[in-house]
Amino acid sequence: MPANRTSVGRKAAALGALALTGSLLAAVPAQAAEQGGSPSGAPSVRAVPTGDGAKAVCKRLPKTEERVTKALARLNGDATVVGSIARMQQRAANAKTAGHTEIEKLLNDRVAARKALVITLQTRQNDLTSVATWCAAHNQGESK
């Protein structure tokens, strides 16, 4: 009687494995078709854009301006503001005082990166001002 239970259990396991394998094999071509690619992994060809996305840019403009303004305020904040350049400089000074030269170097490199980010964000802020003027003059990027 125990031999019967083993063979029934093995048959059920084999049927389960067969069903799982079949479902996986059936899903691969369907997934490749959904992604627009071939099963071999070749990249799919997409259509060339016909517009410049002005409507979407104008639509996202207020949120983008807000994010840039908040980031600049954070970076230019004093040493009490988390993420500010002043706070990072203070941490570098603390590392120097403690004699942690490698930590000081890391923090000073991060200060330099944040200063470069400020320049990039200021440029972006100026660009966004120009874009806002354009959007207002062109009906928020609507087509002609």
Phi-psi region of 33 (alpha: psi -120 to 50; beta: other; left: phi over 0): alpha
Residues 75, 121 contacting (CB under 8 angstroms) = yes
Same domain, 92 and 127: yes
Q: Tell me: the pLDDT tens digits for 57-103? A: 999 999 999 999 999 999 999 999 999 999 999 999 999 999 999 99
Q: Which residue has the higher pLDDT, 42 or 127?
A: 127
Q: Is residue 47 part of a domain?
A: no
Q: How many Å apart are CA 53 and CA 5, to the nearest integer?
A: 66
Same domain, 38 and 60: no
Same domain, 58 and 119: yes
The whole-number average pLDDT for the span 129-138 is: 94
What is the number of domains present in the chain? 2
Q: Is residue 49 part of a domain?
A: no
Question: Which pLDDT value is given to residue 90?
Answer: 98
Whole-model pTM: value is: 0.64
Same domain, 67 and 125: yes
- Give the domain extent around 66: 54-141
